[in-house]
Every structure is written in structure tokens, then in C-alpha cells.
Amino acid sequence: MPEAKIAPSILASNFGNLAAECKRAMHCGADWLHVDIMDGHFVPNITIGAPVVTCIRGALPKGDSFFDCHMMVAEPERWVEDFAKAGGDLYCFHYEATSSPEALIDKIHASGMRAGCALKPKTPVSAVFDLVPKLDMVLIMTVEPGFGGQKFMIECMPKVEELRSKFPDLDIEVDGGLGPATIDFAADAGANVIVAGTSVFGAKDPREVIALLRETVNKRQLK
């Protein structure tokens, strides 16, 4: 099982001080920053786009931080170059948003970014089995995409278990409702990339929360 990676979701940060919030998360021990991109079409909410990511990258140079761009957008093929230029490191598209996932993966890799594929809670995990050899990561959504602060859906954990069983070396990310109260479920299922928003950015001690999440995943690896 790959190493634990804790990826605070900047959706839960103070957008009025976004660069400072991102720096704070990294200073507190984050491995990645999870950047939620929503377009108001694929999901009924709008967040940020490539220009904002460019500004964040200006404050956090490549090599010092890793931008995990979760593309909750229609026509994800349209934005690959923009996010590569903005400084994205991983471009995670939704399986449900494209009819040509293999071509999209090739386009992402050609841009210099890693490729991830996200699945909504109701999408069967078998949908990505044939894609995994080309992917760098699979994201299992544990809430419906579009808004932060939703309740963790434990019924999505069998999807993580099946992925981990079939692909022991794959980065498997979970996103939605993750924190100290739910991390055991995700870690036991085999997730190693943990997205946490409110539980990190809303914590009195974000460093303590990030350390707890990582420790829980690492303990699972020893089993």
C-alpha cells in the first residue's frame, strides 16, 4: 500500500486569505493541497478557476507544495492546458463527465501532470478497472460532489476495499466528511490519500489533526 498523503481541501479555508491558508496547511504537515474546482454545470456550485490556482502557485512554489486539482467540471478536456500552466500537479477528472477517459488521461500526462479519476458515490467502482493501468490515482467520493461539510458515507467503503484488493500499489483517495471521527473507516478500507476540509481548516490545532490522520493510515499499512 502506498504511503499516507494528507490533502487538506482548500474549499474549507478562508478564501479571503487563501495563500496564507494554503501556507498554513503546508506548515502544519500537509502533503498535498486538495483544490476543488467547480463550474456550476457538473455540480451546482462555483468555486475557483485556473487564474486563482496561478496566484496560489505564486505563493507556494512547485517542489514545496503539490496541487491535487479535483475537477468537478463538465468537459474536463477543455481545461487541462490551463491548469497545467497554472501549476497543477495532478488533474483529477470525474468519470461521469467525459465520454473519452483514456484520451483524456493521455492529454493530462502529455501536459506534464499526473492523472486521477473520481467516482461519484453511485458510480460502480468497476467503471475504472480498465483505466487503472493508465491512472496515477482513483478518487472515491464519500459525499455527493459540489459542497463541503457533508456527512461521510460509509457505504462507499466497499469500493475502496475492492480497489485496494485489486490494485495494491495504487494511490486511492477519499474525499468527503473525513476527520478524526471517520478516518478509521477509510484507513481500514485501504485509502491512503485523505482529503479533509473542515476538520483541518476549522481545527484549533490543524497540525494535530493532520498528524492523527496520517498516523491512522500508517497503522493500517502495518496490519
pLDDT on residue 151: 86
Task: Please state the CATH superfamily assignment of the domain spanning residues 6-221 in this structure.
Answer: Aldolase class I (3.20.20.70)
CA-to-CA distance for 215 and 223, rounded, in angstroms?
13
Please pick, among 82, 169, 175, 205, the residue that the annotation labels catalytic: 175
Q: Which residue in 51, 7, 9 sits closest to 31, CA to CA? A: 7
The ranges assigned to domains in the chain are 6-221
pLDDT on residue 146: 76
Three-state DSSP at 92 gives strand
Active site residue 171: no
Please pick, among 31, 36, 39, 89, the residue that the annotation labels catalytic: 36
Active site residue 36: yes
CA-to-CA distance for 45 and 176, rounded, in angstroms?
16
Three-state DSSP at 127 gives helix
Predicted confidence (pLDDT) per residue in 100-125, tens digit: 999 999 999 999 999 999 999 999 99
What is this structure's pTM?
A: 0.95
